[in-house]
Amino acid sequence: MAIKVFAPAKINLTLHVTGQRADGYHLLDSLVVFADFGDRLKLEPGPEMRIDLSGPFAAGVPQDERNLIWKAAEGAGWSGAIHLNKQLPHGAGIGGGSSDAAALLTALAAQGIEIPADLPLSLGADLPVCMAASAARMQGIGEQITPVDLPALPALLVNPGCHVPTGAVFSGLRSRNNAPMSVEIPRFNSASDCASWLVGQRNDLEAPARVAAPEIDQVLGDLTASRGNLLSRMSGSGATCFALYPTTKAAHMAAYEIGAEHPDWWIQAVTLR
């Protein structure tokens, strides 16, 4: 039987780079949430591996062993047809490929397939938190996942369509030994409370990403100027940026206004959890 799977967009509300190990891996402290919008997969077991693509961002997605989905399935000992409806822009700092692979592994585990314990992290730092697929604090090189209780966060996601090389962003970091988040993340009563606390946090990759892709400046400027905006920040290593709003209506209004001015940008109003 075919298995239908949802792979949500992953958003880094914070991303503190706190160190670098001798093997080159960066140490992170990040508050991660997931949107109610993302890619869709359908898995059909069979003797041969195959990836079929559809959706607005299908172009350029590998359909062979270069794809994280293929690697995840192969690592779990599963084969068959994978139908991927690509709704999320790739290379956009919102975990598209990682979320796809994590959703596949989660679905296979639910079918009773044993997933090797070291497989998710071996595929990327975002895989373990994407398998949790709910608000969490991600630390270390991505292996330390702590669930966090957050209110629903009305938000707007915007990507200007430029590619930001992750390597160039990390190379542009002025410091790799920055302060982590506070030991305890408070409990918030509303999106406004959460945004007020987030103002005092950071995405350490935002500054070098803005150098690599100046388009991010305009995105953040437009989000900050939108009505009802509580906070604007870049997610991950870019170029997708997000803004938080007090209500879903405010997020949709901002989507309409920014979309009218920039019809070539990818813009999506969502709820983050």
Q: Among all residues, which ones are annotated catalytic?
A: 10, 126
Distance CA 1, CA 188 (A): 42
DSSP state of 116: P
Q: Which of 153, 163, 105 is CA-nearest to residue 129?
A: 105
Do residues 132 and 105 make contact, with C-beta atoms less than 8 angstroms apart?
no
- What is the distance between the alpha carbons of residues 27 and 39, in angstroms, rounded to a whole number? 28
CA distance linking residue 54 with residue 98, whole number of Å:
18
CA angle 24, 180, 224 (to 5 degrees): 105
**Beta partners for residue 243, in sequence order:** 156, 232
**How many C-beta neighbours within 10 Å does residue 39 have?**
24
Question: What kind and span of H or E run contains 51?
Answer: strand 50-54
Q: How many CB atoms lie within 10 A of CB 4?
A: 10
Residues 6+ apart with CB under 8 A from 96: 7, 9, 39, 57, 86, 88, 89, 90
Q: Does residue 80 contact residue 43 with C-beta atoms inside 8 Å?
A: yes
The residues that bridge with 84 in the sheet, in sequence order, are: 41, 53
CA distance 265 to 159: 6
DSSP single-letter state for residue 5 = E
